[in-house]
Structure 1
Amino acid sequence: MDAKLFPSSSLKLSGTNLFWLLTTGLSAAVLILDITAGRLNNLGASLTLPFLICAGVVTIAGYWTVPVLQRLKTGQIIREDGPQAHLKKAGTPTMGGVFFVPVGVIISLLWVAFFPAKDSGQIAVFAAAMLTLAYGFIGWLDDWQILRLKSNKGISPKTKLALQIGFGALFSLGLIVQSYFTKTLPSNITTIALPFGLAIPLGLIFWPFADFVLVAESNATNLTDGVDGLMGGLGAISLLGLGAIVAPTSPDLMMFCACMSGSCLGFVAHNRNPARVFMGDTGSLALGGALGAVAIQTNNIWSLLIIGGIFFIETLSVMAQVGYYKATKGPDGIGKRLLKMAPLHHHLELSGWTERQIVAIFYVINALLVLLALAVH
C-alpha cells in the first residue's frame, strides 16, 4: 500500500486526539447498546457502568504502575532490523498487561458475583477469566525472559506453543465437564454457527479445533501488537463488538467483554503515541485468549473471525512473508521478501505511513468489521 492513498494532511491526528476519538466512539457505542436494549437503568445488566469503571481504574492505575515498571527496568528491547523509527522507543517500559488485564478480569468476576444475570453465566465468566490470566501468564514468562536475557528472544517457540495448547486443552476439558454436569452451555456448542442459519457440525473434533482457535487468536493478537496504541484500541473495539453479539444469550459474558474492553481503553491512555508503556506479550496473548474464550463458549467463532479480520490479515502477512522467502531461496540460501517487513503494519511503516495513520485506519476498519459481524449474526 502507498502512503499517498492516505496523505498526512488528511490525517493530522496526534496520539492524544486518536485516544479521545476512540474514547468518544466507544462510550457512545455502549450508551447506544444499553439504550436500545432498555438496560441503561439496570445496574446489573448495563454495559456502560462496568466499561467506564474499568477504563477509569486502569487509567488511574497506570499513573502508579508505569513508574514502578520504569524503576524495575522493564525497558523494551527493540529489534535492530525493525523500522528505524522504533529505535528511539528503546527503554520504554513493557509488560503493561500486568496492570490492565487483571483489572478487567477482577472487576468482571466481582460484577457477575454481585449482579448475576444467571447462574450459568458466572461459570462462563470464571472460565473466560482463568483462560485470559493463563495466557497472560505465558506472555509474562516470555516478557520476563526477554528482559532477563536483554534480547528479543523470550521463551522458546516450542515452549510457548506447548503452554498455549496445554492451557487451551484444560479450558476445553473444563467446558466438557461443565456441559456434562450442568447442561449450561449451548446445545449446539460443537457446531460452527455460520450466517443465515447455516452450521458445520464437528462433534468431538470441535474440542481440538477450539484449542486451535485459542492458540491462533492469541498469536494473532500478539503479532498485531507492534505500534503505539494499536492492539489496545483494536482490543477495546473487538471485545465490545463481541460483547454486543453475545448479549442476548450470554449477558454475563457480555459484561466480561465490557470490562475487558474498558480496561483496554484505559491502557491506551498510557500506550497512545508516543507510548509511555507497552502491553508486551503479557497483554497481547491475554487479549487473544479472552476473545477466543468468549467466542468458543457462545458458539460465535465465525463472528470472531469477522471481528478479528485485522488480526487474521496480520497473521497471513507473516505466513506469506516466511513462505515466499523460503520458496525463493537461491543457491546462496537467501530468498526474496514479499513485504518490506512483516507483519503488515511494519510494511506500511516502511512504505511511508506514520504510526498514527496506521492506527487510525486500522481502528476504522475494525469498527466496520464489528458492524459487519453484527449485521450477519
Structure 2
Amino acid sequence: MWAALLMGLALLAALLVDRHLGQPQLSPLLLLSGLVSGVVCGLGIPLLRCLRMGQTVRVDCPQSHQGKSGTPTMAGLLLVPCGVVLGGWVDADDGRLLLLATTGLGFMVIGGLDDWQSLQRKKNQGLRPCAKLLLQGLVAIVFLAKATQQGWLPTQVSFPFGRVLELGPLIWPLGLWTFLAESNATNLSDGLDGLAAGCGAVILLGMAIQLMLRGNNGDPALAGFAAAMAGAYLGFLIHNRRPAKAFMGDTGSLALGGILAGLALLSDSLWALLVMGAVPMAESLSVVLQVGWFKLSRWWWGQPRRLLRMAPMHHHFELSGYSEVTVVVGFWLAAVASVALGLLVLAG
C-alpha cells in the first residue's frame, strides 16, 4: 500500500509540474520508465534466482534480517539500463546524456564487481574499500575530464537568493568528493526493503522538477533523464517493497549515487542535491559519527562506546523497536520533506 502511495504521489507531482509548464515533459518519461523497469525486473528476477545470486546477510544485522538471506541481489543490472536507455532518448543529440548514462553504467559495473565478490565469498564483503574507492574515483575523473573538455562542467556553485561562488579548477576536487560521497551514501542507505529505491526515486524526481522550474525554460534534457531514472527505481520498487523479492545490491545503489552526482555537477545543482539528498547523507554521516565516537571513546575512556545502537541509522531505529515498514515509510517522508524544502528554498 505504502509503495503504491509513493508511486501515485510521484506521478501526481510530475503531472502538476507538466500542467504548470504546459508541456508533457516529466510524467510520460516517469510512467514509461516505471512500466518498463517493472516488467524487466519481473522477468529478470527469476533468472537471478536461477543463477543463485542470493544475498548473504551480515551476521551483525538485526535478527529479523536473517530471513532475507538467499533473496536475489544484483537487480541493479536490470533496472539501471532501463533508466539510462530511456533517459538517453530524451535528446539523442545532447552529449551530456550519453556521458551521464555511461557514468551511471560505470558505477553499476563497480557495484556489480563488489556484489559478485560477495556472492563468491558467501560473505557480505566484496571489493576492498580502497579498491572500491579507486574505481569510483577513476570513473569520476573520466566524467570530469570529458565534461570539462566539452565545456559542460560549470566552474561555479550557485546558492539560493542569487549567490554564486566561483571555483575555477577547484570544481574538480569538489566534483570528485561529490561522486565518492553521494555514491557511498546511497549505498549505505540500501539496507531495508524499499528504502534506497524509494528515497532515490524521490530525490531524482525532485532534481528533475527543480531543473524544469529554474529560469530560461529550465533544462528539459537533464530533467527528462532524471525523471526516467526516477521511474526506473519506482518500477523496481514494485518488487523491492517488503517482503522484497530482490535487492538492487551495490549494482543499483552505487549507480544511483553516481547519476545524482553527475546530474548535480552538469546542471550546477550541488546545493539542490545537498538539501534534497539529506536522507542518504544523514545515513552516511551516522556511520562516520558512529565509527569516530567509537574510536575516540576508546582512546579517551579506555572503553569504546556507541552513539547509535547500530549504524547506518535505519538499523538504530529498527533496534529501538520500530518495524521495518515504519522506518522505511518514515525515511520516504523525510526524503519528500527534503525535496519540498529544496524546491521552496530554490524558488526563493
TM-score by structure 2 length? 0.96
Partner in structure 2 of residue 176 of structure 1: 148
The answer to whether residue 21 in structure 2 is matched with residue 37 in structure 1 is yes
Counterpart code for 1:340 = R
| CA–CA separation in structure 2 for the residues paired with 1:103 and 1:164 | 22
Total equivalences in the alignment: 342
The alignment partner of 1:192 has SS state of strand
Shift of 1:112: 1.9
- Taking a change above 3 Å as real, the CA distance of residues 292 and 331 of structure 1, as seen in their structure-2 partners, is closer
| CA–CA separation in structure 2 for the residues paired with 1:302 and 1:62 | 33
The alignment partner of 2:90 has SS state of helix
The answer to whether residue 237 in structure 2 is matched with residue 237 in structure 1 is no
Which structure 2 residue ranges, 5 or more long, are not aligned? none
Counterpart code for 1:246 = L
Shift of 1:334: 5.2
After superposition, give the CA deviation of every residue in 1:59-112 in whole Å (9 maximum; x if it has no partner). Answer: 111221111000111110011111110000000001010000000001111232
- Taking a change above 3 Å as real, the CA distance of residues 134 and 333 of structure 1, as seen in their structure-2 partners, is farther
Partner in structure 1 of residue 345 of structure 2: 376
2:159 to 186, 194, 213: 194
* C-alpha RMSD of the superposition: 1.4
Partner in structure 2 of residue 284 of structure 1: 253
Partner in structure 1 of residue 317 of structure 2: 348
Shift of 1:211: 1.0
The answer to whether residue 287 in structure 2 is matched with residue 308 in structure 1 is no
Partner in structure 2 of residue 296 of structure 1: 265
The answer to whether residue 107 in structure 2 is matched with residue 153 in structure 1 is no
- Taking a change above 3 Å as real, the CA distance of residues 338 and 257 of structure 1, as seen in their structure-2 partners, is same
The alignment partner of 2:91 has SS state of helix
Shift of 1:127: 1.2
The answer to whether residue 33 in structure 2 is matched with residue 54 in structure 1 is yes
Alignment of 1:316-335 (within 5 A): 316-329=285-298, 335=304
| CA–CA separation in structure 2 for the residues paired with 1:86 and 1:334 | 29
The alignment partner of 1:108 has SS state of helix
Which structure 1 residue ranges, 5 or more long, are not aligned? 1-16, 41-45, 114-118, 180-184
Shift of 1:360: 1.1
The answer to whether residue 71 in structure 2 is matched with residue 92 in structure 1 is yes
After superposition, give the CA deviation of every residue in 1:251-291 in whole Å (9 maximum; x if it has no partner). Answer: 10111001000000000000000000001000000000111
| CA–CA separation in structure 1 for the residues paired with 2:21 and 2:301 | 63
Partner in structure 2 of residue 336 of structure 1: 305
Partner in structure 2 of residue 107 of structure 1: 86
The answer to whether residue 188 in structure 2 is matched with residue 223 in structure 1 is yes
Alignment of 1:199-210 (within 5 A): 199-210=164-175
Counterpart code for 2:73 = T
| CA–CA separation in structure 1 for the residues paired with 2:281 and 2:34 | 26
Shift of 1:330: 6.0
- Taking a change above 3 Å as real, the CA distance of residues 157 and 20 of structure 1, as seen in their structure-2 partners, is same
Partner in structure 2 of residue 257 of structure 1: 226
| CA–CA separation in structure 2 for the residues paired with 1:135 and 1:268 | 20
After superposition, give the CA deviation of every residue in 1:346-372 in whole Å (9 maximum; x if it has no partner). Answer: 000000111111111111111111111
TM-score by structure 1 length? 0.89
After superposition, give the CA deviation of every residue in 1:317-360 in whole Å (9 maximum; x if it has no partner). Answer: 00000001101116997511111000000000000111111111
| CA–CA separation in structure 1 for the residues paired with 2:343 and 2:99 | 24
Shift of 1:249: 3.0
Counterpart code for 2:283 = E
| CA–CA separation in structure 1 for the residues paired with 2:205 and 2:180 | 21
| CA–CA separation in structure 2 for the residues paired with 1:331 and 1:363 | 37
- Identical-pair percentage: 41
Shift of 1:375: 1.3
